[in-house]
A and B are shown apart, each in its own frame.
Chain A
Amino acid sequence: MAHPVKRSNAPVFWLLFGAGGMLAALLGPMLVLITGIAAPLGWVLPPDALSYDNMLAFSRNIPGKLFIFAVVTLFVWHAAHRIYHTLHDLGIRRNRLSMGFCYGISLAATLLAGYALVIIGF
Chain B
Amino acid sequence: MKLEVMRYLPESDPEPRHQVYEVPYSDTGSVLEALQYIKDELDPTLSFRWSCRMAICGSCGMNINGVPRLACRTFLREYFPGPVRIDALAHFPVERDLVISAADFIAKLESIKPYIIPRVERDVSEGEYLQTPLELEKFNQFTKCINCMLCYAACPQYGIDPAFLGPGVIALAHRYNADSRDGAAEERMGQLHAEEGLWSCTAVGYCSEVCPKDVDPANAVNQNKMASALDYFLRFVKPGDKS
Which A residues contact B (CB, under 8 angstroms)?
A: 1-12, 14-15, 85, 88-89, 93
Known: A11-B228, A88-B160. 10 other contacts (CB 8 A): A1-B110, A1-B111, A4-B194, A4-B195, A5-B191, A6-B195, A7-B232, A11-B225, A11-B233, A14-B199
Is B64 on the interface with A (CB-CB < 8 A)? no
Q: Say whether B193 faces chain A, with CB atoms less than 8 Å apart.
A: yes
Q: Does B243 contact A (CB under 8 A)?
A: yes
Cα(A82)–Cα(B198), bound, Å:
17
**Contact present for B202 and A3 (CB under 8 Å):** no
Cα distance A14–B232 when bound, in Å? Answer: 11
What B residues does A8 contact at CB under 8 A? 193-195, 197-199
Query: From residue A72, how far is it (CB to closest CB) to chain B in Å?
Result: 23
Instruction: Decide if B190 is an interface residue (CB 8 Å cutoff).
Output: yes
* CB atoms of A15 and B229 under 8 A apart: yes
Given A8-B195, A8-B199, A93-B160, are A2 and B229 also a contact pair (CB < 8 Å)? Answer: no
Min Cβ gap B101→A in Å is 15
Chain A contacts of B181 at CB under 8 A?
A: none
Give A7 to B199 CA distance when docked, in angstroms. 10
Q: How many residues of B contact A (CB 8 A)?
A: 25
The answer for the CA separation of A98 and B225 in the assembled complex, in Å, is: 22
Contacts of A11 in B (CB 8 A): 199, 225, 228-229, 232-233
Query: Within residues 214 to 243 of chain B, which ones have a CB less than 8 A from any CB in chain A?
Result: 225, 228-229, 232-233, 243
- Chain A residues contacting B196 (CB-CB under 8 Å) are 3-4
Contact of A3 with B232 in the complex, beta carbons under 8 Å: no
Chain A residues contacting B161 (CB-CB under 8 Å) are: 93
A11 to B108, CA, bound (A): 22
12 sampled A-B residue pairs with Cβ under 8 A? A1-B111, A3-B191, A3-B194, A4-B163, A6-B194, A8-B199, A10-B199, A11-B199, A11-B228, A14-B199, A14-B229, A88-B202
Pairwise interchain contact B107-A7, C-beta atoms closer than 8 A: no
User: Judging by beta carbons under 8 Å apart, are A89 and B202 in contact?
Assistant: yes
- Bound-state CA distance A9–B225 (Å) is 12
A82 to B163, CA, bound (A): 21
Separation of A11 and B130 alpha carbons in the complex (Å)? 35
Give every chain B residue within 8 A of A89 (Cβ-Cβ): 156, 160, 202
- Contacting residues, chain B, for A1 (C-beta < 8 A): 107, 110-111
